[in-house]
Amino acid sequence: MSDLPEVGLRLLDPRLTGWGFPRWGSAAAAGLDLHACLDAPLILPPRGAPALIPAGFSVLIRDPAWCGLIFPRSGRGHRDGLVLGNGTGVIDADYEGPLMVSAWNRDDARPIRIEPGDRIAQLVFTRVTRPLLTVLADEAGPGSGRGAGGFGSSGR
């Protein structure tokens, strides 16, 4: 018996299987490659508005102990400046609509060309912990030693 969830994929773009989807880039890769399901090349201008690019499928996680996270591909991000317009995409277990990748060009000078089928992002599945939240009375307790100090307040 596996503790891994069974995640369904609903293919919305028939070209995905020809591009090799679904696949991880290597046997130990954490992220599932996401392809740009575009009908024509897309040019992202330097520091322009982000574009929503269809990934061509829906993911059916359904187990609330799991979620999906969409991250940029490290090579395209470092080399070309292709990052996500929203930082990281979160796919909740109850979302079953089409996946869209918010792509943004962080480069100051060069446009980025995205071709149909290009691998533009990666999907990582991870467990979700939903702690039991307790609303505390407005009274001072022993504290952590750090208190309410914010960014950089630990001195480390």
DSSP letter for each residue of 18-81: HTT-S-BSSTT-SSEEEE---SS-EEE-TT---EEEEEEEEEE---TTEEEEEEE-HHHHHHH-
Residues sharing a CB contact under 8 Å with residue 127, sequence separation 6 or more, in sequence order = 65, 66
Between the CA atoms of 42, 43, 49 and 53, what dihedral angle is there, to the nearest 10 degrees?
A: 20
| Chain centroid, CA 53 distance in Å | 13
Question: What pLDDT, on the 0 to 100 scale, is given for residue 155?
Answer: 67
Q: Which amino acid is at 151?
A: F
* Mean of the per-residue pLDDT values of the chain: 92
**pLDDT higher than 60, residue 1:** no
**pLDDT higher than 80, residue 141:** no
pLDDT tens readout for residues 30-70: 999 999 999 999 999 999 999 999 999 999 999 999 999 99
Confidence of residue 16 (pLDDT cuts 50, 70, 90): very high
Residues sharing a CB contact under 8 Å with residue 118, sequence separation 6 or more, in sequence order = 35, 36
**pLDDT higher than 80, residue 143:** no
**pLDDT higher than 90, residue 21:** yes
Range 26-31 contact pairs with CB under 8 angstroms and sequence separation of 24 or more: 29/122, 30/122, 30/124, 31/71, 31/73, 31/122, 31/123, 31/124
Tokens representing residue 45 in the block: 């201008």
Q: Which residue has the tokens 């609509």?
A: 97
Question: What pLDDT, on the 0 to 100 scale, is given for residue 140?
Answer: 64
Confidence of residue 28 (pLDDT cuts 50, 70, 90): very high
pLDDT tens readout for residues 107-140: 999 999 999 999 999 999 999 999 999 998 876 6
